[in-house]
Structure 1
Amino acid sequence: MTDTELQADELLALTSIYDDTIFAVSQDGEDVGGQFLSNVHLPDMTIKIVSRREKGDTNLIEEVHQVKFLPPVILNFQLPVDYPSCSPPQFTLSCKWLNRKQLAALCHKLDAIWEENKGNEILFMWTSFIAEETLEFLGLESTIDLTNAFDSRKVTESRAIQDIGSKDRLIPTVLDYDKQEEQRQFEKTMFQCKVCFLDRQGSSCIKFLDCDHVYCKECMKDYFTVQIAEGNVTALSCPDDKCESQAHPSQVKALVNEELYDKYENLLLQTSLDMMVDIMYCPRPACQYPVMLDRESNMGSCPSCSYAFCTLCKLVFHGKSPCRVKADGFKKLREEYLNADEETKRFLEKKYGKKTIEQALEEAFTNEWMESFAKQCPGCGAQIQKMDGCNKMTCMKCRSYFCWLCMSELSRNNPYKHFSQPGSDCNNRLFEGMEEDDDFDIEEDLFF
């Protein structure tokens, strides 16, 4: 076979082995060439970057990144007319993360492979070596250290090309490529949705970033739509009952309509503000604007309506004076204080003042005692305690007579008649409840 025929057979074989995104052939007149992109096989490896804090500082900072894919090593080649019988392919090697010294070593290795197989087709050997043996050949089998990715020493090998503009762009470029390639591989892979249990290609699925659980987009679209419509934005988590991974906003945006996503964003912002300890909403019902708090002064000032309020009681700001307690709030305050832990008690004392707390405790106790041992005069409502004597009571405030048992008002002319009427619930009960040695003629009616 002629060199031309051997070249054609070799290129045909390589195009049948590799995807056209990896191996591509080009021809310009009689010049035949091509490009091979080698995605170097990575075992469990890390990219390790070491940089100094500042010039002259002896302390080092290590940044360690775990990646699955690295930018390819690119072989560009052109086949001489007398290849493979006499001359080897002309080529260049380029890469972003290998320095020129490393690329030069690879160039020389390809030359050596040609010398060992001179006169034979060599492209498949070269591509196999670059893809499978590059890391071992360069001694990068466990960790790739990019500290010296830009070697300042001069390299005379013109075929070795480091294809990146600056050192500052190296790590972002490597990490971006890893992310893009991982997504590309994901889209080509088949997965079983754990909701509908149908097999789907990755391009029709989404993967929760924190847990790597995969579900089809149709199921997740319905799931996200229902949760957002009900206002449960914090419930957009992985459907796996043992997982708490949250959907990324970009994943939500890709599946729901614009109106629903706007609602999602607003609810997400609201939830975030609610969780911030230094944010409170303006107490005015018509405003409700988020307000940054001044913890030292307990004052909030709304930038929207200019309302200055106390962050403790949410009423108009009252300076250092204790917060006011409403007339009917002492009992509630007493219960809250008595059931609180020490930290909450200190907060209540700071909010209302210790004197107010003491007043609440005393007043609530008095009210409870009154409810148990005193009754209201049916005439004027005054609280009256019965210490002893019969059940005909006289109110010291309005001077009216009433029955202690049924609380009905009694006739002023004959108040005792009430206790001698047949059929009455109080018949013959005038002295009920008196001690045996009590003198029934003595009545002590107390007014409070």
Structure 2
Amino acid sequence: MDAELVLTAAVDADTQEQEDELLALNSIFGSEEFVRDESRSAGEIRVCAELPADFTVVLKEGESLRQYQLSFLPPLLLTFELPEDYPSSSAPSFSLTCSWLTDTQLSALAAQLTDLYLATGGAVVLFSWVQFLKEDTLRFLDIYSVLELPSDEPLYDSPDLNAPLSEAAAPSQAPSTSDWGGADSMEAERTLRTSGNNHPSTVAGVSKHLQYAPSDRSDRGEVSNDGGAAAWSIHSRESPQNGNPASLTPSQTLLSQLLIWNAARTHNAFSATVFDCGVCFVGFLGSDCIQLPECGHVFCKACLTKFCQLQITEGNVKGVTCPEADCSATPAPSQVRCLVGEELFSRYDRLLLQSTLDSMADVVYCPRRFCGLAVIFERSSAAAQCSVCGFAFCVTCRKNFHGTEGCPKKSITKIQEAEADLPQSQEGLMGLWEDYASGSKKRQRLLERRYGRAVMQGTVGECLSEDWISSNSKNCPHCFWKIEKNGGCNMMMCTQCGQRFCWVCLTRLPTSRPGKHFDGSACSQYQ
């Protein structure tokens, strides 16, 4: 009877310690790191190993060597189940899953976790395991600053480390994307399972694992099996490569996934960090900032937006650079689009292309007025041919190509060259005039050199005025004076000759009762 009471008290004490430990883990880690199985004393923990500065991942491919610096690696997945006599007599049953460690390395980690439990003398150990995996994994495996990926590893199906923790062990779980960085499910997973009661946890989709089944423990928590040696049973089977590009080897696939994971986690870390804007010197979270990829300088979105909008509006697209003094780095096009919106970005894209073409000595423009597209020519030749309309012309006089004997006109004036290059569409002329009218003085001088000052100040404006008048006015049916309707009803009176007429059909209206025209007519007086 006394033995039963002692056993019951021990079981109750173990149960209470398990509950206290799980509650502590739940309060320490977030839902993305720890998930508890409420139906039993079990759960899952994701542990990200801490990396030293300038940590590099290396992949050897024959004679070539690919290496990348990483700040984050995918986590180790620790799945555990607590037996009834834990922590007094038995260690937790657990499995370790990781995409970038070999089976031998996982075996060494699992053995060390078991040793850590034995060293406690029957105390709770899960938090100590997590701290060890987080702080000492790389050092324990003699990985200091370089992680060499095996170049001949087979590719296996694996559990999705990006899925929620509670779903990672679900059978037939399909790969998914989650807040853990947005990367695809990690391939080439290796899982090591160890159990204190020969009842390992199950992790879905694992095609290769090491199962650790030590013998029964004595009351002192020791492991004994054939003189203290642990028995390791290795099982392996191959699985088809589902959904993997045929052009990538397993190691290349793993490397790409490590890079995707690192990029996603780096973005998350940047978003949660406070930076001082280099323009207004106010602190902002990274989620409200932009970091230029070339130089690494950080600015708040508001300041960088105003800076880019001003430069683009003035036509100074070459000035869309880093606002930092003496820094010529430029933001990425995607960053400019995000900052200024589609309308200004369209102008930026057009002006940037135009500016680039203007600076190229081997680019001329097709002299046909309905075409006017850029043409690349050989500088050793005087001939060019438009790839769109097929027109072959002399690059000196812009006339039909007249052979190789030399052009009688050795030069051509800027106005003549400009007249051939003027846009022929209404939209093109509007864009050119807007660029000239709102551009900086430097931009205006550049356009004047290309199209001619007289053309920019006279011809373009006149063309636009004529087109606008033609589109927004009608002729008086009596004296043919151009009239604009800016409001009111459709009964009009010409200010030149005094004739009343219908704006819709241009019918002359009588002096008496002119509104009778709209009664029972197809013309409406007020629409």
Q: TM-score range by the shorter chain?
A: 0.5 to 0.7
Tell me the SS of whatever aligns to 1:280: strand
**1:82 paired residue number:** 85
Match runs of 1:180-191 below 5 Å: 180-191=264-275
Matched-pair contact (CA < 8 Å) for 1:281–1:290: yes
Partner residue, 2:522: none
Bigger Cα displacement from structure 2, 194-203 vs 284-293 = 284-293
Q: Pick which of 123-132 and 228-237 moved more.
A: 228-237
Moved more, 65-74 or 141-150: 141-150
The one-letter amino acid paired with 2:57 is I
- Report what 1:12 is aligned to: 23
Mapped partners of 2:412, 2:303: distance in 1: 53
Quote the Cα distance in structure 1 between the aligned partners of 2:315 and 2:42.
62
C-alpha change, 1:218 and 1:136, in structure 2 (3 Å) is same
Q: Secondary structure at the match of 2:95?
A: strand
Q: Is the 8 A contact 1:98 1:149 kept in 2?
A: no
SS in 2 for 1:12: helix
- Structure 1 residue 281, shift from structure 2 partner: 2.5
- How many angstroms does 1:128 deviate by? 1.0
Equivalent pair of 2:44/2:77 in contact (CA under 8 Å): no
Asked if the contact 2:18–2:41 (Cα under 8 Å) also holds between the matched residues in 1, the reply is: no
In the other structure, the counterpart of 2:210 is 157
Over residues 262-308 of structure 1, what are the superposed CA-to-partner deviations in whole Å (9 max), with x where a residue is unaligned?
22222233344445565432234542212243456442211333321
Deviations 1:419-443 (A, max 9, x none): xxxxxxxxxxxxxxxxxxxxxxxxx
Alpha-carbon RMSD: 3.1
TM-score when normalising by structure 2:
0.55
1:331-410 alignment to 2 at 5 Å? Answer: none
> Distance in 2 between the 1:148 and 1:139 partners?
19
SS at match of 1:245: coil
Q: Secondary structure at the match of 1:258?
A: helix
Q: Which amino acid aligns with 1:226?
A: L
Cα separation, partners in 2 of 1:156 and 1:147, compared to 1, 3 Å:
closer
Matched, 1:115 2:118: yes
Contact 1:40–1:73 under 8 Å retained in 2:
no
- Which has the larger Rg? 1
What SS does the corresponding residue of 2:377 show, helix, strand or coil?
A: strand
Distance in 1, matches of 2:274 and 2:333, equals 24
CA distance 1:158–1:261, shift in 2 (3 Å): farther
> How far apart, in 2, do the equivalents of 1:41 and 1:34 lie?
22
> CA contact under 8 A between 1:40 and 1:72: conserved in structure 2?
no
Q: TM-score, normalised by structure 1?
A: 0.64
Q: Match of 1:50, as an amino acid?
A: K
- Contact kept, 8 Å, 2:294 with 2:329, in 1: the verdict is yes
Counterparts of 2:294 and 2:209, CA distance in 1: 46
In 2 relative to 1, CA 116–259 (structure 1 residues): closer, same or farther, beyond 3 Å?
A: same
Contact 1:77 1:90 in 2 (8 A): yes
Match in the other structure for 2:65: 62
8 Å contact from structure 1 (residues 80, 87) kept in 2 = yes
Q: CA deviation at 1:192?
A: 1.3
Unaligned runs of 5+ in 2: 1-11, 156-189, 191-206, 213-233, 245-249, 414-527
8 Å CA contact retained: 1:79, 1:90: yes
SS of the residue 1:62 aligns to: strand
- Would the aligned equivalents of 1:42 and 1:69 in 2 still touch at CA under 8 Å? no
For residue 66 of structure 1, what is the amino acid of its counterpart? Q
Q: How many residues align?
A: 321
Match of 2:46 among 24, 29, 36: 36
2:407 aligns to what? 323
User: How has the CA–CA distance of structure 1 residues 149 and 243 changed in structure 2, closer, same or farther, with 3 Å as cutoff?
Assistant: farther
1:133 is matched with 136
Indicate if the aligned counterparts of 1:97 and 1:146 stay in contact, CA closer than 8 A.
yes
Matched with 1:179 is 263
